[in-house]
Amino acid sequence: MSLVHDLFYGFGIAMQPWNLLACFLGVFIGTLVGVLPGIGPVGAMSLLLPITFGISPVTGIIMLAGIYYGSMYGGSTTSILVNIPGEAASVVTCLDGHQMALKGRAGPALGIAAFGSFIAGTLGLIGLMFLANILARVAVIFGPAEYFALMWLGLSLVTYLTQGSVLKGLTMAGLGLFLSLIGQDVITGKVRFAFGLMGLVDGVGLVPLVMGMFGVSEVLLNLENLYEKREVMKTRLRELLPNREDWKRSAAPIGRGTLIGFFLGILPGGGSVISSFVSYATEKKLSKHPEEFGKGAIEGVAGPESANNAASSSGFIPLFSLGIPANVIMALLLGALMIHGLRPGPLLITENPEVFWGTVASMYMGNVMLLVLNLPLIGLWVQILKVPYRTLFPLILLFCFIGAYSISANTFDLYIMLVFGILGYAFRKMGYEPAPLVLAFILGPMLEQNLRQALILSEGSMAVFVTRPLTAAPLLVSLILLLSTILPSLRRKRKEVITEED
Amino acid sequence: MCAVVFFMVSIAFNTGVRAASYPERTITLIVPYAPGGVTDLGARAFADALQRELKQTVVVVNKPGGGTTIGGNTIATAKPDGYTLGFLPTSASIPEVFTYFNEAPYTSKDLKPAARVLGPVLAITVKADSPYNSLKDLVEAGKKAKTMKMATHGKSTLGYLVLRTVGKAEKVNFTDVPFAGDSQIVPAILGGHVPVGTPAYPAIKSLVDAKQLKVLALCLEKRADFAPNVPTVAELGYKLAFVSYLGIFAPKDTPDDIVKKLSDAARKITSDADFRTKLNNMGTQVTYQDTAAFRKSISSYKENMAAFFKEEGLVK
Amino acid sequence: MKGRIDTGGFGWVILGSLICFLAWRVRLGTFSEPGPGFIAFGAGSFLCVVGIIMLLSGLVSPASTEERVPWDRLFPRGVRLRLAYTVLLLFLYTMFLDKLGYVIGTFLLMWGLFLNWERPRWVTSMVASLVTVGVTYLVFEVWLHCQLPRGILPLG
């Protein structure tokens, strides 16, 4: 029962007025920066970092952590409303979330995202409390070969992200893979495919690419019917929250998404990014009506959004128990703790219980605050869709610009965004979808580095990929997945053309 | 509005830089890394202290990209008035020796070093249950084996230099397995995927305390303040061609008295106990050098590195 | 439509070959030490293979997956103008953002974008763009410290 005792101790700390205020401020700022596309939690957190030098470490961490998971709640808002994913994790949310919005169901989409996030975030915390020390060991079992196999499995999910032609999806994935390789090669340190452009030395930025492919190209497509009345928006706007049917369809995806997100989120090498993709593919595979996916299936929002938030809870496991940050945000939290002389690691929970338990307890409260904060906002967000598009689209473009600029304060990234906006427009006109490109772009660098590291370690032997269960299993699954989707699609080509492409 | 007018007027009257009254307005400190990370934190802590020392606002601006040379180029092309300064690492301050990896549009001649402030510390690290208890054990084992694999940050970094230097002296065939950062090197060592690696010290400190990792040596010339019991690679008899640093740089035509003012301010800041604790907590070593000394070490590092990269075949 | 060569597939084969060539130039390496072009070569070859399959399936199957949409239907004239205008504005904005600064540049961009072509209301769109600039400046620069470009005005 020491766990209950520890948790009460944690709540005792989190309930102190200052910490309560810090928690609220954190989730409030997090919601704000999460909603604004491109402006991620990283910028806000590094800005507030010097302020935390002066306050107690627990209060500082509570606030910074609040910004982080707060931004995860808000991250899906622009994906659903205007098809701009603010971060990698909400790319998948665009697929069905924005389609739901186009059908006048933005409210339920936002609602299920908020509830799913709340449920998954809270369950993730319970997992974090019970399993932190056990699962920390799991995180290091994954070496380069295992990561490669996992990334390869992730990449083979590409076919689940496409609605139309599988072949077109595969070409987009190939192109995305190549684009991800531009810039400095981690293994040799050499710059490649940069064509002499300084801005490409560190590669194509994810945010400008995603905002171009989704946000800008969406605006360009919509320019075509700029002065037409958008009737779809007018219908059923009063329906703000998910109804019973929505809940019935979403319950299982939220559960599965939580599990997927929680376990993948533990892996420090980008597990949390692929969790939303894995969840989407799982739901599409298990669904009785996979043809609805990509056209506004609520499962396609509920699953990935839950996965994304569960991963943000379990991402604290390697940080608190090993001192290994799973992403830039965790690295920032690590830095904030270190400046105060605290060292996250195996001894943190015993040596500084106030930090661990205080933070965990504050996260429970923060999740409740977020739900209370976000539900009333849904009504406000839905109102945005009532604004005529000719007034809305310049603002969408401006937010894309500010978001892309704020990442590196460099106009080069704006050019990148524009180029991908135009490319994305052309591709979508010709029936190519941007999601497979983005997935391959995200996984590409990890796939490459881990494969090459594995080969250096094995001295060129391919045996590592088939002899170990943790590498062989994902590779086998991905082989089955690929064959089961490509073979029938080649045979059934004629039928598909008629049924799937209008 | 009044403030704006006043501001514009004050700029108009100060086109000729007067060092005596420097600084009269906000100083921008360019950091060539994205927000987060130890370097950015160090820069922010330094900017915070500089602000109090000079009694002027110091704003940190992150200019990541180009393998730190975008930030470096911002300084190289900035107005030499002392109001745009850079907090630059080795790769951004002497880009001409890294041409094999990346071509930058400027060289170290376009920059004026003001003061060396601090340096990140790399640690040669093994798993706690590893049979190696010292660098000597590792070398002996390496002599017997065909190759010894080592997780590093890449061929252009200090970790690679150290292992090649040791390898050459002892005739051990070290093979580097480059990783994208400490957050990947540490799990690889912990999980036993590589026998040894060179992560940054702050990333492993807590795991060393918890007896899950062991540090064999630090990649330094002198022992670190925060780990006085750990031997350095230099004292074990290997001469290092260079040691990573972070320093304050200005555009090349910046007046000398402004540079002197900055160097003096940096000296005061780096000798402040509070600042040193903050930096040591992060596992970075405060290594102050004034302008002249810093200039000297840069030029010797430049020569040594050029020679080292040439030997390794890492030249264009 | 029977036996029509799929231009899409053809394009992918060319792009794939180009990527393979670029990859070969930066060194492919060996299996025990893969070079910087190792995976890129794989990506290029993959594009070639998929492109060839597209080409073949276009030749073999009577109904090609590639729907032939005439250029005019793909880009109607009015749309083309509006599209070109918007893209041009966006490029000009990017080009002059650093020189003009956020406040002036964004004001001009927003004015241009808000302008209704059918019923131009110069003043209304100007006021709207002024408000936009003011609010975004307050949120992003003053509150969130986004480091927006300063330009010729001493704001920012």
Residue of B nearest to C36 (CA): B101
In angstroms, the separation between the Cα of residue C101 and the nearest Cα of chain B is 16
Q: Which of B65, B175, B281 sits opposite A408 (nearest CB)?
A: B65
* B133-150: average pLDDT: 91
Show residues of chain C in contact with A489, CB under 8 Å.
Answer: none
* B61-70: average pLDDT: 82
* A465-471: average pLDDT: 88
Q: How sure is the predictor about B8, in pLDDT bands with cuts at 50, 70 and 90?
A: very low
Residue of A nearest to C78 (CA): A224
pLDDT tens digits, one per residue of A136-157: 777 788 889 998 998 898 888 8
Same domain for B129 and B212, yes or no, is yes
Show residues of chain B in contact with A412, CB under 8 Å.
Answer: 65
Q: Residue C87: what pLDDT?
A: 93
Q: Residue B2: what pLDDT?
A: 46
Q: Which of A186, A191, A199 sits opposite B180 (nearest CB)?
A: A186
pLDDT tens digits, one per residue of B188-201: 999 999 999 999 88
CB within 8 Å of B204: residues ≥ 6 apart: A323, B123, B125, B182, B186, B213, B215
Give burial (CB, 10 Å; 0-12/13-18/19+) of B271: exposed
Greater model confidence, A495 or B76: B76
The answer to whether residue A496 scores a pLDDT higher than 70 is no
Are residues C32 and A456, on separate chains, in Cβ contact within 8 Å? Answer: yes
Structural domain of B297: 26-120+244-311
Q: How far apart (Å, rounded) are the C-alpha atoms in residues C43 and A135?
A: 35
pLDDT tens digits, one per residue of A160-188: 888 778 888 899 999 999 999 998 887 88
Q: How sure is the predictor about B11, in pLDDT bands with cuts at 50, 70 and 90?
A: very low
Q: Is C141 on the interface with B (CB under 8 A)?
A: no
Domain boundary among B218, B235, B256: B218
Are residues B61 and C147, on separate chains, in Cβ contact within 8 Å? Answer: yes
Q: What is the ipTM of this complex?
A: 0.89
List, as one string, the DSSP characters of A355-389: HHHHHHHHHHHHHHHHHHHHHHHHHHHHHHTTS-H
The answer to whether residue C121 scores a pLDDT higher than 60 is yes
Q: What is the 3-state secondary structure (H, E, C) of A181-237?
A: HCEECCCCCCEECCCCCHHHCCCCCHHHHHHHHHHHHHHHHHHHHCCCCCHHHHCCC
Show residues of chain A in contact with B45, CB under 8 Å.
Answer: 50, 53, 339
Are residues A167 and C53, on separate chains, in Cβ contact within 8 Å? Answer: yes
CATH number of the domain where residue B188 is located: 3.40.190.10
Show residues of chain A in contact with B156, CB under 8 Å.
Answer: 189
Show residues of chain A in contact with C34, CB under 8 Å.
Answer: 187, 451-452, 455-456
Contact criterion met (CB below 8 Å) for A123 and A446: no
Share of chain A above pLDDT 70, in %: 93
Same domain for B105 and B56, yes or no, is yes
pLDDT tens digits, one per residue of B216-251: 999 988 888 888 899 999 999 898 888 889 999 999
Sole residue written with tokens 């975008």: B70
Q: Is C154 on the interface with B (CB under 8 A)?
A: yes
Q: What is the dihedral of CA C102, C103, C109, C114, to 10 degrees?
A: 140
Q: How sure is the predictor about B16, in pLDDT bands with cuts at 50, 70 and 90?
A: very low
* B18-42: average pLDDT: 80
Show residues of chain A in contact with B37, CB under 8 Å.
Answer: 328, 331-332, 335
Q: Is C152 on the interface with B (CB under 8 A)?
A: no
CATH number of the domain where residue B101 is located: 3.40.190.150
Are residues C65 and A39, on separate chains, in Cβ contact within 8 Å? Answer: no
Supply the mean pLDDT for chain C. 81
Are residues A198 and B206, on separate chains, in Cβ contact within 8 Å? Answer: no
Same domain for B116 and B248, yes or no, is yes
Q: Is A28 on the interface with C (CB under 8 A)?
A: no
Chains adjacent to A (≥3 CB pairs closer than 8 angstroms): B, C
Supply the mean pLDDT for chain A. 85
Q: Is C155 on the interface with A (CB under 8 A)?
A: no
Are residues A329 and B154, on separate chains, in Cβ contact within 8 Å? Answer: no
Lowest mean pLDDT among A35-39, B274-278, C109-113: A35-39
The answer to whether residue C68 scores a pLDDT higher than 60 is no
The token pair at A97 is 């979330």
Q: What is the dihedral of CA B302, B305, B307, B312, to 10 degrees?
A: -160
Show residues of chain C in contact with A485, CB under 8 Å.
Answer: none
In angstroms, the separation between the Cα of residue A58 and the nearest Cα of chain C is 23
Are residues B212 and A43, on separate chains, in Cβ contact within 8 Å? Answer: no
Structural domain of A88: 2-500
Q: How sure is the predictor about A200, in pLDDT bands with cuts at 50, 70 and 90?
A: confident
Are residues B179 and A453, on separate chains, in Cβ contact within 8 Å? Answer: yes
Same domain for B307 and B159, yes or no, is no
The answer to whether residue A26 scores a pLDDT higher than 80 is yes
Q: Which of C36, C61, C144 sits opposite A44 (nearest CB)?
A: C144
Which residues partner with B151 through β-bridges? B177, B197
Are residues B190 and A449, on separate chains, in Cβ contact within 8 Å? Answer: no
Q: Is C30 on the interface with B (CB under 8 A)?
A: no
In chain B, which residues touch C (CB < 8 A)?
A: 4, 7-8, 11, 61-62
Same domain for B34 and B176, yes or no, is no
Residue B94 domain-assigned? yes
Residue of A nearest to C49 (CA): A171
Same domain for B110 and B133, yes or no, is no
Query: Angle, nearest 10°, between helix axes B291-311 and B256-271?
Result: 90
Are residues B178 and A188, on separate chains, in Cβ contact within 8 Å? Answer: yes
Contact criterion met (CB below 8 Å) for A72 and A203: no
Same domain for B142 and B89, yes or no, is no
Best to test chain B binding among C30, C147, C152 (most B CBs inside 10 Å):
C147
The answer to whether residue B57 scores a pLDDT higher than 90 is no
Please write down the long-range contacts of B142-147, taking CB distance under 8 Å and 24 or more positions apart: B142/B167, B142/B170, B142/B172, B142/B173, B142/B174, B143/B170, B143/B171, B143/B172, B146/B173, B147/B173, B147/B174, B147/B175
Show residues of chain B in contact with C32, CB under 8 Å.
Answer: none
Residue B12 domain-assigned? no
In angstroms, the separation between the Cα of residue A486 and the nearest Cα of chain B is 34
The answer to whether residue A365 scores a pLDDT higher than 90 is yes
Residue of B nearest to A146 (CA): B193
Beta strands B174-178 and B284-289 are: unpaired
The answer to whether residue A267 scores a pLDDT higher than 50 is yes
Are residues B8 and C147, on separate chains, in Cβ contact within 8 Å? Answer: no
Phi/psi of residue B89, each to 5°? -90, 180
Show residues of chain B in contact with C147, CB under 8 Å.
Answer: 61-62
Contact criterion met (CB below 8 Å) for A22 and A59: yes
Residue B11 domain-assigned? no
Q: Is A43 on the interface with C (CB under 8 A)?
A: yes
* B52-65: average pLDDT: 86
Sole residue written with tokens 């899906």: A76
Number of Cβ pairs < 8 A linking chain A and chain B: 175
Q: Residue C2: what pLDDT?
A: 42
The answer to whether residue B60 scores a pLDDT higher than 90 is no
Q: Tell me how many domains chain B contains.
A: 2
Are residues C154 and B62, on separate chains, in Cβ contact within 8 Å? Answer: no
Q: Is A192 on the interface with C (CB under 8 A)?
A: yes
Q: How far apart (Å, rounded) are the C-alpha atoms in residues A442 and A82?
A: 22
Q: How far apart (Å, rounded) are the C-alpha atoms in residues A106 and A239?
A: 9
* A476-481: average pLDDT: 87
Length of chain B: 316
pLDDT tens digits, one per residue of A119-142: 999 999 998 888 887 877 777 888
Q: How sure is the predictor about B292, in pLDDT bands with cuts at 50, 70 and 90?
A: very high
C-facing residues of A in 244-303 (CB < 8 A) are none
Show residues of chain A in contact with C140, CB under 8 Å.
Answer: 36, 39, 402, 406
Are residues A408 and B62, on separate chains, in Cβ contact within 8 Å? Answer: yes
Are residues C46 and A174, on separate chains, in Cβ contact within 8 Å? Answer: yes
Q: Tell me how many domains chain A contains.
A: 1
Are residues B7 and C154, on separate chains, in Cβ contact within 8 Å? Answer: yes
Structural domain boundaries in chain C: 7-68, 73-143
Show residues of chain B in contact with A457, CB under 8 Å.
Answer: 149, 177, 193-194
List, as one string, the DSSP characters of B107-136: -GGGEEEEEEEEEE-BEEEEETT-S--SHH
